[in-house]
Structures are given as C-alpha cells and as structure tokens.
Amino acid sequence: MGKSLVIVESPAKAKTISKILGKDFQVKASIGHIRDLPRTKLGVNVRKNFEPQYEILREKEPIVQELREAAEEADHVYLAPDPDREGEAIAWHLAELLGLPKNKLHRIEFNEITKEAVLAAIKSPRQIDKRLVDAQQARRVLDRLVGYKISPLLWRKVNGRSAGRVQSVAVRLICERESEIEGFDAQEYWSIKADLSKAKSKQSFTAALVKYDGKRVIPATEKPSSSSFIIDSEKIANQIVKAVESKDFKVLAVNDKTSQKQPQPPFITSTLQREAALQLGFAVKKTMQVAQGLYEGVELGPQGPVGLITYMRTDSTRISSQAQEEALSHISTRYGKQYCPDKPRVYTRKAKNVQDAHEAIRPTSVERTPESIKQYLNNDQNKLYKLIWERFLASQMAAAELVTKTVEMTAGIGLFRASATDTKFPGFTIVYNRPANGDSPSEADDEATNNLPELSEGEEVKLRALNPKQHFTQPPPRYNEASLVKTLEELGIGRPSTYATTVATIIDRKYVEKQGKMLCPTKLGQAVNALLVEHFGDIVDVRFTAEMEAKLDKIEEDEIEWHGMLKEFYQPFGETLKKARDSMDKIVILSEHKCPTCGEAMAVRSSRFGQFLGCVNYPACTTKIALTKDGNPVPPDRPSDESCKTCTAPMIIRYGRYGDYLVCSSETCQEQRPIVKSTGVACPREDCGGEIIVKKSRRGKIFYGCSHYTQKKCTTAFWYPPLIKGGPNGSTKCPQCESLLIYKTLKRGDQIACSSKECIFAQVCTGGEEHA
C-alpha cells in the first residue's frame, strides 16, 4: 500500500488521528472551510438557477496549495471532516479544488476519534453524499439571499447591521418576551399553611390548605372553575384563618405511594448547552468550544492525544450497543448489579426534525472516569467532561425508587395536606441527581421533602400557627442562552450546529444584550425587529422558519430538489423586498444623551467600526460621540499620577479599543503604556524581580500575572488573586510546598488554595483573610 493522505478540519484533530494511523498516513488540516461565497458581494447567480459563485478564502490559499501538492503525491486521499452537512460540504469543496478522481477519493466519517472508530472508517470508505452537500448549499444560499437582500435596507432605514434567517427569529422571540413582561398584569393571591405537631411532640411539620368548603384552593396561575377558587385578597385569607384556627385538626387519611424516578437521556447538543449553562455557568459558545477540544483529543500523558467524547453536534439520543455494554459492565462492577436496569435502556425522540445519523454525546470510554484523567484536563474541560460522563452513565442505570407519604387533615370545612418523599433505592441518583430538563425545583418539590412524623387516621394534631402568605403572579422570565436554545429546538428552528452561532451573532450585532445571564433586546434590536415583522413577516415567522428547516431535511433525504426549493422561496421574497424598499420608513433610535454642541438629541447610529452617537441635526451638526463596548459614551481624557518615562510630562488616562490606558500629554511625545495595578506581592519565582499585577486576557478576563509576563521573561500567572494576609499560621505561603497562596471565590464557599498545580493544599476561609 502506498502513502495515503487524510484531510481533517483542525490541527488538534489531525494530531490525534496521526498518532492512531501511524507513518503510512500523512494527516493534514484544512482549518475549517477553504471555499465559500464571496464576502463582498451576493455571490449567487439568481438567474442561473441560483448557482453559487464560490471562491477560495484568501487566507486559505497557501493551505490549498499545500494540500494539492500532498494529494498529488498520495495514492489515496481520505476526506475526514466532521460527520454532518457542514463536514460533507467541506469534503466536497476539497474534492473539487484538489481535482480528486473517484478511484482516489475516499470519504470517511467517525462519531468518535478512537483507534477502533478511525480504523473502522478507513476500512469502509464511501463516496461523497451529494444529498448532504445539496442541503448545506441550500442553507448557505438561502441565508445569503436573506442576509444580503435585507441587510442594506436595515442599514439605510435603522442603522441596523444585518438580518439573518434564523437570528432574526431569535431576536423576535426575545422582543416578544420583553413585550409580554412589560404588559404583564400581576394578580394577587394568597396561600395558607399550618404549622402542626403531634400532641406531645416539639417537632413540627407544615401542611397547606388545599380545599375549603368543598372547593380546591388554587393559585392565580390557574383558571378557577365551579369546583375551585382563588384566595385573591387578604380579607378572604383572614376570614378563612379565623374560621379554621378554632377548629380541631384531625387526620383524615394517610396514604403511601411508591413511584419511580427515571434517569434522563444522554446529552444531545441542546441539552448539553442548557445543562452546562445551568450547572456550570458556561455560555453556549464556550460549551461548544470546550466540547470541541474534548472530541478532537486531549493529551493524556504517555497515551498521547485521545478523543474523550463522541461528536458534539447531534440531536439523537441513540447509543451504540458496544458503549451500552461497557457502561453496564462498569455499573455492575462499581456499584453492583442492582444498579443495572432489567433491560438495556433505549431512548427515542419524538421531535419531527430529529436526524439519527449520530449517537448521543457520551464519553468514548466510561472506564476513563473523571477522577482518572483530571490531572490532564484544564478546569473547564474537567467540569464539562464530568457532566457528560455522569449524565451518560446515569442514563444507563436503574431508576430511583421513591415512597411518598401523604397526610390529609380536616379542620372544620378546611382540608390541609402534607407530604414527604423518602428514597427507597437511589438508583441512578448516586451518580447524577439534577432536576429534569434543567428545570429548577418547584414549590411542590419543597413540600414533598417535609419531615413528617408517624400519624394515623383519626389522630388529633396540635396547631402551632396558621400562616397566610401573599403572592403575586410573575411575568414569564426573560430568556437566557440555555432557555433560548431550548425554545429554538422545540420550535424546530436551526440545527445543533447553528445554536451557538445564532446566540453569539445577535449579541455581537448589539440587537440583544446580556443583563447578568438574561438576554434583553436593545433599542436597536427592538427597532430592527419591528421593521422586519412589519415588512418581512414571513421571514421572521416562527412557523415559516421551521418549515424551511423541514425542507432542508427533505433535500438531505432526496425528497425535494434544492434549486426548486430556492425558486419557490425567492419569487414571493423578491416581491416583498420590492414593496419594503418603497414603503419602509427610516427609524431614528434616540439615546438619553444630548448633543454637547447644539443641545439636540443624540441618536444611536452604526458604522463598519461599530455603534456611535450622532446628532439628529446632521448634516448641520456633525458631532459624534464614540461608544464603549457597553454602549456608554467614551469618557474624556483624565489626569493620572504618573509621569512619562521618555520626557517626564504628565501621563493622562485615555479610553481605547481595549479599555483605559496611559498616554503622554505632550504632543511631541508618543509614549503610551497600559495601566498597571499592583497587588503589592512579589513574584514567587526566584531571580525574577517582578511583582504580581492585575492583567487582562485577550478575551477581557481578569488574571494575576508577573509584571515581566509581557516581556516573556516570566510565565507566573493565576486566575485568582494572591493572598496578602491571614493564611495558615499567619503566612501567605503554602504550608505543604512553600508556594504562594491564592484566594478562590467559589459557589460552595471561599477557600485558600496553593497556586502550584502540583500541590493539592486547600482550606475553607475563616473570615480573617485578605487578598489583593
């Protein structure tokens, strides 16, 4: 067998696969797409049956040349991009550009980057699936037509930066949710709970009023009927309390009910993104970046690079029989046979647009437990791998068995109910015990954990207190990244590969901003959405967008032809576009700021460099004010306490692209430097002479590094501030290895820890510590 060439998308993936295949295979990376529609024009010949006019990306020209030379020398070329539409399209573009004949071209795909999977793929190559390619081309052309035709209109009419087929629907969902919140009319309602105890006991329990005078007591979130009512005022609540408190509380019934709590399915893309957001605080984009690294391979010491999880862009909960057998064996050995289900679990999804091409997201081997490989992973990788590993293992385990005791008590014409749930058998919850679907525990869950004493029918219980409590119905919550992804998936909008990009785009375009973790529409986003809803109702219609996704799936299934689908879309779209050009009015988005020159209002405007404030009197007044990343006016230059090292003139503080920095006040001097915030702690590295200062990463995250860090003389750096007072025995040095101690602020409580990665020292803070 002659030399073979394997082409993948990323260098990390290439490194892992190269180690598996050995010296007979040369593995190279295309580093993503090498060919795409042009960036500066439409790039679609509408009149010529929507023919895409692809061109090689300028920055990829050297890579294409390198791949051509390697392909000419190889006897066989294996195209191994990711196993989805996007990967199939990359493989097709590569085959076209490299001029690969069919006898030399081999398309291979694998769901996991392991030795078994890669070698099996090499043994069973196939030709490129043109159906997948056509589906991807249809999506790309469709998105380009919408974006390039609507965006210029938005630019002229509202200073909007762009429109997108899926992103515009996402913005609409967020704007409509904001309108619901603003128009929400809160309704008052009351609940009544009794603090009770056995006659001669000090231990109390709580019971809620569930019926009064034969009618169910319901919250204002439910609709009352002839058999139910809402306690909608304090007056009615007090009347009920007065009527009940003088009555004897007697046990009417005691019931025990056995139930099972089933494990959740293994992760798909959307559920992983939601759970990582809720449990780990990860943004959707971050989750996918970390998962990509785990999939492509992580260095595991002597083992070299190993792919740790299966492909992370999937909407299938299917699991291979081999992975299932390995999981059941691990469960039986580690926890006991009683933790294995009676028969292997099979998960199916009922959603219409589910594609079952890939497995669910799971570890490539459950034997690689989070504890066994923790030393090789960074903090984010370890957290996400642990989440994936636990969820998968739990999905293959036996159900938890629960016993719920419910006690009903009468007091006159009032009926009170208390319940408590005990775990008879923990089942999967010993591995993974989180609320289903990422939901928060409900009030009913809280009541179900009540500490109930042993009670019997007819027994009298003692009333300690009756507590009426006022409530108000709450508006629907704003979307966060996780809940937006969940909604898009439920509505059939987008694909697993597009969720992260959609969320990132609407934030980058300033249509949506994050307030804490919540997504709120900006004035620009609301203005753009209003125009699109008015003039392009179909394009931003949820049902229409979901139908387009379904048609893309039908192209992949070879049920419809992609050119025909585009033609069917474009004809009415072109007519709508023409009407919008003629009827769309220009919208000015006013800010709360006044023009410093003429006193008129300042409007939010956009340019290719970002947003700024411009006077509404333009062109009579040309005043402009730049905006910071947060959307606030850029502050004026401010004096500092430092002097120029070149000419000794005073330095001033100026706001720039990356925040505040120092610049010389002299017009003839060009010295500028970053603002250094010292911690007062010397660099722990011997013979360094630097000090630990506050720094910012390229992504804007604060870290603490040596003042010589930028000069590459010293690489000392920590994510947490150094301790300056109150360590063990009054020292700021680790008692085990003498390294510098750092102060960690964690959800489970603050702690002091050693800064050395080789040392495991950590202790809970006592309150007397101080950090930089």
Active-site residues, by number, are 311
Closest alpha carbon to 717 in 688, 737, 746, 748:
688
Contact 79, 98 (CB under 8 A): no
Residue length, the chain?
Answer: 772
**Which DSSP symbol is given to 719?**
S
Contact 512, 171 (CB under 8 A): yes
Q: Residue 559: CB partners within 8 Å, gap ≥ 6?
A: none
Residue 417: helix, strand or coil by DSSP?
A: strand
Residue with tokens 């409509």: 176
| Cα distance between residue 181 and residue 100, in whole Å | 57
How wide is the angle at C-alpha 94 spanned by C-alphas 92 and 99, nearest 5°?
100
| Cα distance between residue 594 and residue 590, in whole Å | 10
| Cα distance between residue 150 and residue 462, in whole Å | 70
DSSP secondary structure string for all residues of 521-561 = E-HHHHHHHHHHHHH-TTTT-HHHHHHHHHHHHHHHTTSS-
Q: Print burial letters for 652-686: b (CB count within 10 Å at least 16), e (below 16).
A: bbbbeeeeebbbbbeeebeeeeeeeeebebebbee
Contact 623, 597 (CB under 8 A): yes
Residue with tokens 């070149």: 646
What tokens does 379 get?
């903090």
| Cα distance between residue 587 and residue 157, in whole Å | 6
Q: CA dist 309 to 291, 323, 504, Å?
A: 8, 12, 24
> Prior bond to 572 cis, omega within 30?
no
How wide is the angle at C-alpha 663 spanned by C-alphas 661 and 721, nearest 5°?
30
Closest alpha carbon to 102 in 84, 80, 127:
127
Residue 680: helix, strand or coil by DSSP?
A: strand
Residue 125: helix, strand or coil by DSSP?
A: coil
DSSP secondary structure string for all residues of 400-414 = EEEEEEEEEEEETTE
Single-letter amino acid code for the residue at 260: Q
DSSP secondary structure string for all residues of 682-708 = E-SSTT---EEEEEE-TTS-EEEEETT
Q: Residue 173: CB partners within 8 Å, gap ≥ 6?
A: 479, 484, 487, 488, 542
Count other C-beta atoms under 10 Å from residue 694's C-beta. Answer: 15
